[in-house]
Structure 1
């Protein structure tokens, strides 16, 4: 079988993205399952080789067809020079560069030169300084693909978590927990897992209130909105249970009872995933015409360039992209 090409964006040049990119590609097992092609700045990656004690060669290429695709060589599509670059500093030039890397990786995926993309962290302040009209990766990808509301899914070990709401205050998030939204998301989550090759899909919806509200004793959101949304999804053939109290549903999913959990708000699912294994919590953006995986941590400006950043998340992100790319392409 032909190995999938994974476009790897190196993230904000001033953060830990370049070094964890180098660290992840200093692993032979990555090249056993895919052909990684970095989209970024070859000069900065070269500077990170001694930082990560990596005995590797940088191969500057113009397109995917020139990639060597073998362990020992990092194939890099080099996009432009950086003049105001300084490690650990918010910089508009770096924000623009990070944006350009993502845009180019999307173009590789849309033209089928790459079968998936794996992204290193970007910095929201640097994006703002560059006047990039997006706050983060998900919003950029949605804009490039003209998709209104992509799905975020975390995978860690054998647990998958979808998110009904993302970057909202808890008060505003609760206002979004309508039966219509729960119903719609369960349908879309089922479609997303099907596209990733998951069969016989069983879902659980996390509860909002303690003990899922105890039938109104501790709140009526489950009674009025969440459970009715679940029932609508069941009527459409979705295998789903809930709401299941949030203090147990993630443990149950981790032990194989469910294929995925629909988390109702940002921190509910983030805490569950990152307490399970912080470095192996990988984000997948579903609902796009291409597959994207990502580390779920920031640019860590305070330690950038010091060789302290673990590359495990980046490695896992690339591996997950390689794992799902064949299923996604055939969906």
Structure 2
């Protein structure tokens, strides 16, 4: 596997170019030589000026055009959505070819993406489609808390319907396999309940008994160290304090709220279930500060560090 990582620039009107430039500027020469940015050179040159970074981009950029670019900072624009898609598409093809070992994505704007005719719910769905997968899984990883989601960008009603025993089992397997890959000999996994107090023996609903319990039983039969359902109002506290290595969240907010509370600037978004590796920042395009040089690149640094673990020998 290639040790090169490819950073996609994200929406050209957002903070992606700036956080990519700041991260690149701070790298050692050896790490910089193992990094490529998939984006637009003219936009990145503006980001260099905005940040004041002392860096020469020659040889570091996979330069792709933007219609009418460079575009104004902080403005919703379908041309930016189309460009963001093409940056990702090129990086995916290179990852499939083995040219790069992991993709690191800067933030995209879902509205701009869809206005450009690319109808995806975000990076994870787009990457699944580009690689021919039916679906993928979103893992949010921080030092003390890791969460993987059964579903993400769907309504709460749809999320409950999607939490079938088969999908929950597949999520447990994906999380277990990934943690083993990064060094956990026997991951300890907790499955959050769907309903308050896991339904309280049917008093608050039967979904946990009908949908979650069978999935946990099947995973245990495969030898996976998993427990659940465990009430969502306690399981994250227990995991954060060391009782579990990973929590299976049943839907978007159930997983995102606790991880963003405890690791807002450091949690890394990792896509599982794909034939390629991808990590990402866990924040948006921040149009309100784009082009000002104020964007914090801490999260980008974390995503890059995680990507290097995956690209440098799957450790």
TM-score range, shorter chain: over 0.9
Question: Any gaps of 5 or more consecutive residues in structure 1?
Answer: 62-74
Q: More deviation in 138-147 or 112-121?
A: 138-147
Which region of structure 1 is more displaced relative to structure 2, 136-145 or 112-121?
136-145
1:48 corresponds to 2:47: yes
TM-score with structure 1 setting the length: 0.88
CA 1:54–1:3: 2 relative to 1, 3 Å: farther
1:146-161 equivalent positions in 2, closer than 5 A:
146-161=132-147
Q: Assess, with a 3 A threshold, how the Cα gap between structure 1 residues 316 and 228 changes in structure 2: closer, same or farther.
A: same
Aligned residue number for residue 102 of structure 1: 88
Rounded to whole Å, the distance in 1 between the matches of 2:273 and 2:178 is 7
The one of 183, 189, 192 equivalent to 2:175 is 189
CA deviation after TM superposition for structure 1 residue 231, in Å: 1.0
CA distance in 1, matches of 2:249, 2:208: 13
Q: C-alpha root-mean-square deviation of aligned residues, in Å?
A: 2.1
Q: Which residue does the alignment assign to 2:161? A: 175
What stretches of structure 1 move > 6 A for 4+ residues in a row? none
Displacement of 1:327 in angstroms is 4.2
Q: 1:114 corresponds to which residue?
A: 100
Matching of residues 184-223 of structure 1 within 5 Å: 184-223=170-209
Question: TM-score, normalised to structure 2's length?
Answer: 0.93
SS in 1 for 2:5: strand
Displacement of 1:8 in angstroms is 0.4
**2:227 is paired with a residue of what secondary structure?**
strand
Which of these residues, 245, 248, 253, is aligned with residue 267 of structure 1?
253
Once residues 148 and 263 of structure 1 are traced to their aligned partners in structure 2, the CA distance between those partners, rounded to angstroms, is: 20
Match status 1:235 vs 2:234? no
Partner secondary structure for residue 200 of structure 1: coil
2:57 is paired with a residue whose SS is strand
Distance 1:110 1:130 in 2: 25
Which of 63, 86, 96 is 1:78 aligned to?
A: 63
* Uncovered stretches (5+) of structure 2, i.e. residues with no partner: none
